[in-house]
Chains A and B, each alone.
Chain A
Amino acid sequence: MADNQGIKDMIDTKDTKTAPASGVDNKERLKIKRVGMRNQAPEERIHNFEEVPYGYSPEEASIEAKRCIQCKKPFCIEGCPVNINIPAFIKLVESGDFLGAARKIKETNSLPAICGRVCPQEDQCEKVCTVGKKKDSAPVAIGNLERFVADYEAAHGNINIEVTGSIDKKVAIVGGGPAGLTVAGDLRKMGYDVSIFEALHELGGVLMYGIPEFRLPKEIVLSNLKVLENMGVKVYKNIVVGKTFSIDELMEKKGFDAVFIGTGAGTPKFLNIPGEELSGVYSANEFLTRVNLMRSYQNEKYDTPVKRGKTLVVFGAGNTAMDSVRTGLRLGYEDARIFYRRSRKEMTARIEEVHHAEQEGIKFEFLINPVRFIGDESHTVTGVECQRMELGEPDESGRRRPIPIPGSEFITKIDAAIIAIGTNANPIVPSSTPGMNLNKWGYIIADENTGKTTKKGVFAGGDIVTGAATVILAMGAGRKAAVAIDEYLKTGTW
C-alpha cells in the first residue's frame, strides 16, 4: 500500500513534519501542519447520503490560511483553470474577512461551493503549491479553504452577484451544466441578455445527475442556480436543442446574437461483451441519474425505481466509477467492488475519492477484465466472467497496456454491474447543426482559447469539445468562451 502514503499527506495532517525555514515569518508558517477536514465516520456514512467531510470551522480555516506563504510568483493561480487569485483570498481568510474572501474568489469563479468540493485540486492549484514542494510538507489546502469561504458566505452573507451593466445582445446557452452555467453567469454579469436551454427538467447537468449527494449536496447546486436566476438569466427547461429548436433557428428566428454549446459528455460507452444487454447491467450514467437526478434512493417520496441487492461490481476506475460504487454501497449493496483492468497506479479517480471509498469498505480488484455477463431465464444478470491481466508495454496513453493471462478466467456472482468506462460524443446537437465541424470522434472542433467553432457566432466548450473531463475544466472553457463572446459581440469580428 505504498501509494497510500501520498494519500495520507494530502488528507491527514498527522504525518506532516515541520519544513525547513525559508524566512522568519514563513518559518513559522511552514511549521503549521495542514488542517484536515473532519469527516463523517465511514461506518455511519455508508448508511446515508449525507456529505462526507464536514468542512472547516472558522478557526480551522484561519489556521490553514496561515500556511500560505504568499508567494511572489504564485504558481497556484496558473494551476487553476479559472485563475482564482488564490493568495489574495487566503490572505483575506487569514485576516478574518471571510466574506471578502468569497468576493475575491467570485471575481473569477461563480461556483466556489461546487469547485471547493469537486475540483481535483491535487492535480491543479495544490499540485504546484510552493508549500507542498518543501520537504515533508503538504500543500496549502486551497480546496478546503475555497469550500469554507463559499459555505460561510452562504450561511452569513448574500451570495447574489450584481449585474454591472445592460447590453442589448442576446446569447443562448445550450446546456445548463458547469460550462454553460459559467458562461451564463459571466455574460449576464457584464449585462448581456442570457437564456439557458436545458434538455432535462432541472438545470445543473452533471452536478445534478452525475455527482452524488454525499459529494455535492443538491441544495448547494440549487442555491447557486438561484443566484443565476436572481441575476436575470432566463432559463428554459425541457428544451432539447437539436430537436425542439436547432442552433440555426435560435440565431435566425429567435434573435440570438451568439450561441454557446455546452451539452456535456454524450452516450455512455459499453464493453461490447456478451450479456451486456441483460437487466441489472447499467451504464454509470443510468445508475447515477436514477439515484441523483431522479432521487430514487428516497423511494418513499420519488417514483423512479432503483434495484437493490447484495453484490455490485463496477468496471472502471475514474471518478464516475467511485461515485457509482459508493452510491451502490449506500443503497445497500453490502459487497460493492471495483474491477479494473489496469493496476492501482493507472486509476484516474481523485485520490480523495479512492481513499474515501476504501475507508468505506469498497474492495478494489486490479488487472481484471470482464469477458461476458451471465444471466438467468428472466434475462437478469447473475454473474460475470472475468480474466486476469498482466501489464505489458506502454500504450498510446503512456500507460502500460493490460494483456490477458490465458486460462485465468473466473466467475463472480453478482446482482448488478455498472459500466463506468467513459462516454462517446452525443450526436443530437452536432448532427443538427450544419457548418459546424466535428473531429473524428464526433466532438465539436472549437478553439482552445476562445471556444470558437467553425460556425460563425457559435461557441462551444466542456465535454462536448474535449470528451469527458472535469467540472472545473468545463468551467474554465466556459470562462474563456464568455470573454470571447463578449469580444465578438462588441467587435463583430469572427
Chain B
Amino acid sequence: MYKIILKKNMGEGVNLYEIHAPDIASKAKPGQFIILRVHGEGERIPITIANSDQKKGTITALVQTVGKTSHLLSELNEGENIKDVVGPLGVPTDIENFGTVVCVGGGFGIAVLYPIARALKEAGNRVISIIGARRTDLLLMKKEMEDVSSEVLIATDDGSSGIKGLVTDALRNLIEEKKEKIDRVIAVGPVIMMKAVSDMTREKNIKTVVSLNPIMIDGTGMCGACRVLVGGKTKFACVDGPDFDGHLVDFNNLMNRLRFYKKEEAQSYECHNKEHHG
C-alpha cells in the first residue's frame, strides 16, 4: 500500500499527489514513470513522475480526472492508500550538455517537464522554457520553471499571460524572429502539442525529444500494449521509451490507439457514477 502524503487541486480537474514510495523515490530520474492501480479490481495506468524526494521517500504525480480510475484516485484523501505503485519504469530522459535546450511544456505536462529542465540546467545547458495553458490561473509551476531557465516564454489561449496563442507560436517566434540557435527541444504535454512542436522543428532540423504516454498494462515489456511506431518500426514505450525522437513518431497512430477504449471507458465511468452518486 502506498500512502498519499499530500493532495492538491491544481484546477481543471487536475490533482497533484505526493505518494510515499521510498524505493521508487530513491531511484527515480527525470522522464521515468510509474504504474499505479487504485484498488484491487482496478486497471493499471502509467503516469510520468513529476518529482521525487529521496529524503521524504516520496514521488509526485499529477493526474487529470477523465475516467473511472482517475476519478477513484481523486476520491482518495491525504493519509489514504493507493493499492499498487510500481516503478521507476522506462528509460530516463537523456541528460547531457547539449548547449541550448528549449523545454516546451503544455498543461500539466509542465510538472513533468520541470525536473527534466532542472537536470538539463545542472548538466550545464542554457535552458529556455516555453510553457502554455488555457489561462494564467491554470499555468503550472511558472516560478519553478523560472528558477531553472534563463528565459521563460509563456503562451495562453486568452492572452492573459505571455503571448496569446500556442506554445508552438512562441517556439516559432524564438526560432524565426529571435534567430535563437537551438541544439535540442524537449516537448512534454498533450499529444497534439508534441506533434505540433515536432512538425515545426522537423522543418528547422532541430532534434526534438517527446515523452509518450500510450495505454500500458504491465509496463515492463511483457504485453506490448504500449507499442508506438517510431521511424516505421515498432517500439515499446515502456522499455524503449517513454522518450522518443519526435520527428520519427507516428502521432496519428498514437492518438488513435489512445482513443481505442474510449467507449468502454465512458461506459465504465458512467456505471460508476450511477452506482455511487445515484
- A and B contact pairs by CB, cutoff 8 A, 10 listed: A209-B222, A240-B87, A240-B89, A277-B253, A283-B224, A293-B217, A302-B41, A302-B43, A307-B264, A426-B220
A267-298 interface bits toward B, Cβ cutoff 8 Å, 1 = contact, 0 = none? 11010100011011011011001100111000
Q: Is the CB of B41 within 8 A of A199?
A: no
- B157 lies within 8 A of chain A by Cβ: no
In whole Å, how far is B76's beta carbon from the nearest beta carbon of chain A?
A: 15
Q: Is the CB of B23 within 8 A of A245?
A: yes
- A301 lies within 8 A of chain B by Cβ: yes
Q: Which of B's residues lie within 8 Å of A, judged by CB?
A: 23-24, 27, 37, 41-44, 68-69, 83-89, 217-218, 220-225, 227-229, 234, 236, 239, 250, 252-253, 256-257, 259-261, 264-265, 268
- Residue in B83, B220, B224, B265 whose CB lies within 8 Å of A286: B224
Q: Is the CB of A286 within 8 A of B223?
A: yes
CB neighbours (8 Å) of B257 from chain A are 277, 279, 379
A292-322: which have CB < 8 Å to B? Answer: 293-295, 299, 301-307
Q: Is the CB of A283 within 8 A of B223?
A: yes
Q: Is the CB of B24 within 8 A of A303?
A: no
Q: Is the CB of B217 within 8 A of A199?
A: no
A293 to B225, CA, bound (A): 14
Q: Is the CB of A266 within 8 A of B250?
A: no
In whole Å, how far is A194's beta carbon from the nearest beta carbon of chain B?
A: 19
Q: Is the CB of A243 within 8 A of B253?
A: no
Provide the main secondary structure of the chain A interface.
Answer: loop
- Do A244 and B23 contact each other (CB < 8 Å), given the known contacts A201-B84, A270-B234, A305-B268? yes
Q: Is the CB of B223 within 8 A of A285?
A: yes
Q: Is the CB of A270 within 8 A of B224?
A: yes
Closest chain A residue to B228, Cβ basis: A277
Q: Is the CB of A290 within 8 A of B217?
A: yes
In whole Å, how far is A317's beta carbon from the nearest beta carbon of chain B?
A: 19
Chain A residues with a Cβ closer than 8 Å to the other chain, count:
45
- Do A303 and B41 contact each other (CB < 8 Å), given the known contacts A286-B223, A286-B224? yes
Q: Is the CB of A378 within 8 A of B223?
A: no
Q: Is the CB of A380 within 8 A of B260?
A: yes
Q: Is the CB of A199 within 8 A of B220?
A: yes
- 12 more A-B residue pairs beyond the given contacts A268-B224, A295-B41, A305-B268, with a C-beta to C-beta distance below 8 A: A199-B86, A238-B86, A240-B87, A267-B236, A270-B234, A277-B228, A277-B257, A283-B223, A283-B225, A289-B222, A302-B42, A426-B221
- A200 lies within 8 A of chain B by Cβ: yes
| The 6 nearest A-B residue pairs measured at CB | A379-B256, A305-B264, A283-B224, A279-B260, A238-B86, A286-B223
In whole Å, how far is B47's beta carbon from the nearest beta carbon of chain A?
A: 14
Q: Is the CB of A276 within 8 A of B68?
A: no
- A106 lies within 8 A of chain B by Cβ: no
CB neighbours (8 Å) of A307 from chain B are 260-261, 264
A425 to B160, CA, bound (A): 52
- Do A244 and B253 contact each other (CB < 8 Å), given the known contacts A304-B217, A426-B220? no
Q: Is the CB of B42 within 8 A of A427?
A: no
CB neighbours (8 Å) of A209 from chain B are 218, 222
- A8 lies within 8 A of chain B by Cβ: no
A299 to B68, CA, bound (A): 13
- A239 lies within 8 A of chain B by Cβ: yes
Q: Is the CB of A239 within 8 A of B256?
A: no
In whole Å, how far is A179's beta carbon from the nearest beta carbon of chain B?
A: 15
